[in-house]
Amino acid sequence: MRVQKLIIAFLFLSCSNDIDTKYTSQQNNDNEIENEITVNILFIGNSLTIANNGIDYHVKKFYDNGNPDVSVNTHSVSVSGASLKEHLMSGIAAGEINNKDWDYIILQENGIVATVNPEETIASILSFKEIISPSTTTFLFMTWAYENQPEMTDQLSSVYYEASELTNYKVIPVGLAWRDFMATNETSLLNPDGLHPNMHGTYFASAMIFSILSNQNIIQVPYHSNLEEFQAQYIKQRVIEYVLFYY
């Protein structure tokens, strides 16, 4: 009888240990889920944003290959040739802004509008400020000068930084970094049309945006899209220098 009691006690303890182990494992899994950070990012722009699968796509790829505790949802409301005013008039961008609690919103203006009619650009950004939640961190994505129009860089810089002062939205100075990179490297960031980014250009802009948003060391993020690894590493190193200098 005593032996039977010992056997029953042993089996009870074994089952209890198994339950404890499963419970502890479940707790660890729950803690991992609770510790994961989800970042929601909305891009509003035109073909400069959506070229080469879109900057939103490549920024997500950087996140996916970076800190494993951070997951990201990216979405783009971008139409070829569109200005920020046209986005406001269509109502689609406003609908997306109200559709989710966005952590970051990236606004990118049509380059021609920004340089020819800077008042419209500033008015549009101020209008976006009225519909974007104060809890969302909004950035102004300064684009680059078109081929053979180097004066665009200063014009774009002027309007973006003026809008920044009026809204407290920080500028992501891709255009300034782009100018410096193009002046010192044989590798072009532009497509043959002299306007849109090639894959190097989209990767360059995406790396800069990711670096600023995530505060991660992009050198340690292995994503290189379809570029050669050495090309991607060089671009990322230069991006780090430009972020430190301009941002």
> Phi/psi of residue 89, each to 5°?
-70, -35
Which of 19-23, 111-115, 158-162, 192-196 is predicted least confidently? 19-23
What is the full DSSP assignment across 90-151?
Answer: HSHHHHHHTTS--SEEEE---HHHHHH-HHHHHHHHHHHHHHS-TTSEEEEE---PPTT-TH
- Label each residue of 156-174 as H, E or C: HHHHHHHHHHHHCCEEECH
Within the chain, how many helices (H) and strands (E) appear?
Answer: 11, 5
The predicted model gives 95-117 an average pLDDT of 97
Distance (Å, rounded) from C-alpha 104 to C-alpha 137? 5
> Phi/psi of residue 228, each to 5°?
-65, 145
Q: Look up the pTM and report it.
A: 0.86
Distance (Å, rounded) from C-alpha 58 to C-alpha 71? 14
Distance (Å, rounded) from C-alpha 232 to C-alpha 126? 36
User: Using an 8 Å Cβ cutoff, are 172 and 141 in contact?
Assistant: yes
Per-residue pLDDT tens over the stretch 89-101: 999 999 999 999 9
Per-residue pLDDT tens over the stretch 39-84: 999 999 999 999 999 999 999 999 999 999 999 999 999 999 999 9
Distance (Å, rounded) from C-alpha 179 to C-alpha 129? 29
